[in-house]
Every structure is written in C-alpha cells, then in structure tokens.
C-alpha cells in the first residue's frame, strides 16, 4: 500500500482515499462496509474491506459495523475463490502507525496466496519479525 500518512493523518474524511473510493475499484458493498480492489496489490485479487464510517482503528467500530465487515470478509473470500482460485489467504490488519498502517482509515487486507508464491510461506504474518517467525524450528 502506498504511504498516505501525510495526506490522511489527522485529516477530515474529505482527504481520505477510502471515504470516496473510485467506483471502478468497488468489489461489493453493504450498509456498513465496502470492499475494494487494492490499488497496490501484493498478489492477484488482493482486496480491502473498509468500514463506511471513517475511523482509524477497527476497534473504534460499533459491534454491528464490525459484524458487517467480517461478514463481508467472508463474502469477498468466496468471490476471490471463484474468480482467482487461490490456494489460501492471508488476512491482515495494520492497526496504528507502529503496526504499519499508512492510511488512517481502518481496513482489512485479503491477500490470496498460491502454492509456490513464496519458497517457504510458513509463519505467514509472523514474518513481520523474521527473528520470531521460525517458531517450528525451535
């Protein structure tokens, strides 16, 4: 994902790239959330599920909003399976700048994975700290 920190940190919703998404990128919508094709995909089919209400953290969402988002994650996963036939998925939430969040609007990444896309995918998201990723070898 591109670094939008300077243009979105402490901003009003008008500057947020997720508050008024390009309609061509919309994959699906519901009352509380929208799914988009990632503008900078790390794999074919990489999608984002974003709450309609502008909040920085998924933990700032009300329970119905969180439920709608996670329901949409499941629906988008099914859609991506039909369209791209991946072997697996990584789900990611970068919650806060120290966790790598670059757009100050909560969102969930769905990243389709394929056998062989990485030489050794074990550890998945644990690889953000490579020194702790290989727990199976200890």
Among this protein's residues, is 107 annotated catalytic?
Answer: yes
Question: Residue 109 is inside which H or E element, if any?
Answer: strand 108-113
Is residue 73 within 8 A of residue 36, CB to CB? The reply is: no
d(CA 20, CA 18): 6
For the chain, the C-alpha Rg in angstroms (whole number) is: 15
Q: Spot the catalytic one: 11, 107, 109, 132.
A: 107
Listed residue (59, 56, 58, 50) closest to 10, CA to CA: 56
Start-to-end CA distance of the chain, whole Å, equals: 33
d(CA 118, CA 5): 29
**Which residues are catalytically annotated?**
107
């Amino acid at each position: 994902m591109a670094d939008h920190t300077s243009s979105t940190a402490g901003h009003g919703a008008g500057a947020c790239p997720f508050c008024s998404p390009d309609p061509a990128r919309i994959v699906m919508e519901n009352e509380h959330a929208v799914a988009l094709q990632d503008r900078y995909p790390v794999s074919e089919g990489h999608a984002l599920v974003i709450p309609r209400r502008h909040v920085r953290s998924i933990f700032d969402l009300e329970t119905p909003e969180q439920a709608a988002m996670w329901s949409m994650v499941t629906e988008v996963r099914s859609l991506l399976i039909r369209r791209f036939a991946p072997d697996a998925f990584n789900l990611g939430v970068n919650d806060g700048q120290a966790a790598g969040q670059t757009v100050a609007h909560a969102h969930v990444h769905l990243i389709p994975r394929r056998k062989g896309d990485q030489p050794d995918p074990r550890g998945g998201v644990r690889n953000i700290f490579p020194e702790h990723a290989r727990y199976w070898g200890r």
